[in-house]
Structure 1
Amino acid sequence: MAGAESGAVKSVLFICLENICLSPIAEAVFLDLLKKKGELEQWRVDSAALGDYYTGDSLDERVVETLKKKGIENYSHVVRQITDEDFRDFEIIIALQEKDVDHLMDIEPKGSTAGISMLGDFDTVGGPTINDPYYNADIKEFEDLIEKVMRCCEEYLKCEKL
């Protein structure tokens, strides 16, 4: 977890099925955006998995390579699974895929205070769909993913300032 640890003004948790590709990219991109805008200390930012498939593992190497190409080099990550506490500790949980929104709604515990949204809904150029390049060896798909995530994170941050 990165960003402000206490007294955070805003908090966001990015979610995908496995937390080795999509949601860590969103977390890394959003943290980089906040850092460049001088707003990092005003946020608590994290990412998590819906499943426990890779808990304790690190990022997919293609993610690391693609982030470095975008100048994001100091991002470290350990896969974790979403907890009931996350639904109370974060203001918003942003899923990377529509099926993940459905899953979040299914597991949302009683007393949840987090809003649930989908990152692609903030894309003003493309549609809301975010494709998972994990099962494709083409690094170009990872690069396209980061471009889309960057647009979405920029728009999300603009919405938060309204």
Structure 2
Amino acid sequence: MASGEVKSVLFVCLGNICRSPIAEAIFKKLVTDGNVQNKWRIDSAATSTYEIGNPPDYRGQNCLRKHGITMNHIARQVTQDDFVTFDYMLCMDESNLRDLQRKSKQVKNCTAKIELLGTYDPQNQRIIEDPYYGNDEDFETVYEQCLRCCKAFLEKPH
């Protein structure tokens, strides 16, 4: 990455209240800890309209608080602009991936690289399952997966 060049990443899941805000908060903490926050623009969004305007799920917030990470996000839906203003759109499962790929075809000059966040998992767990209907343990699993993936994504050359 050329010095002074800002990279951008948008984390995406179905509702933008569980997985993607968790990944966003983890990645923000990693770049802050690595003192490279001025080199990244970081956000998260939903493929659906279900939760627009809502804060992240309290169970995800509790999980991150336990790990010393604060989450500050209000759910929003992916916009057409996102496909041209973000370098990376990292999503959580195959359904998110299909939605993003379909939407990207409606955008002229889509420049975002659309991938599964799990592509970066050193443990090769490609899908990050939605913990919404699960329990605290499921949120912990999402946290651990996102942490591994975000670390690996941050370490790769951009």
Q: Is the 8 A contact 2:16 2:76 kept in 1?
A: yes
Query: Are 2:92 and 1:96 aligned?
Result: yes
Deviations 1:44-77 (A, max 9, x none): 000001111111111110011001011002x211
Q: Which residue of 2 aligns with 1:125?
A: 123
Residues 8 and 44 in structure 1, CA contact (< 8 A), matched pair in contact too: no
TM-score for the superposition, normalised by structure 1: 0.90
SS at match of 2:17: coil
Cα deviation, 1:100-121, whole Å, max 9, x if unaligned, reads 1111011111221111111011
Q: 2:51 aligns with which of 51, 54, 63?
A: 54
Please list every run of 5 or more consecutive structure 1 residues that lacks an aligned counterpart in the other structure: 1-6
Residue 102 of structure 2 corresponds to which residue in structure 1? 106
Q: 1:140 aligns with which of 124, 137, 140?
A: 137
What whole-Å deviation, never above 9, does each CA across 1:63-106 have from its counterpart, x for those lacking one? 11001011002x21101011000001001111111211111011
TM-score, scaled relative to structure 2: 0.93
SS in 2 for 1:11: strand
The alignment yields a C-alpha RMSD, in angstroms, of 1.2
**Partner of residue 45, structure 1:** 42
Residue 132 of structure 1 and its aligned partner are, at CA, apart by 1.1
SS at the partner of 1:160? coil
Q: How many residues align?
A: 153
Cα distance in 2, alignment partners of residues 122 and 86 from structure 1: 21
Q: Which residue of 1 aligns with 2:148?
A: 151
Contact between 2:116 and 2:127, CA under 8 Å: does it hold in 1?
Answer: no
Alignment partner, residue 3 of structure 1 = none
Runs of 4+ in 1 over 6 A off after TM superposition: none
Tell me if structure 2 keeps the 8 A contact 1:8–1:41: no
2: distance between equivalents of 1:126 and 1:114? 23
